[in-house]
Amino acid sequence: MTIEFRKDYTYSLVVPTSMGVRITPINGQPVYCSNTFILQATSA
């Protein structure tokens, strides 16, 4: 992975994030018993 910085700007800002995506069954069901899932955006 390579980070490319723009040449025509005075400052460059690199911000690491800990964002993620979680897919879970509704109502706490096991994955093998469910056909309906919830998509959640997670953050630390």
pTM over 0.75: no
Q: Distances from the Cα of 36 to the Cαs of 1, 9, 22, 31, 39, in angstroms?
A: 35, 47, 14, 9, 10
Q: What is the pLDDT of residues 1-44, one digit of tens each?
A: 787 777 888 777 777 777 888 899 999 899 999 999 999 988 86
Q: Distances from the Cα of 16 to the Cαs of 12, 19, 39, 43, in angstroms?
A: 13, 9, 22, 12
Would you state the pLDDT for residue 6? 75
Would you state the pLDDT for residue 32? 92
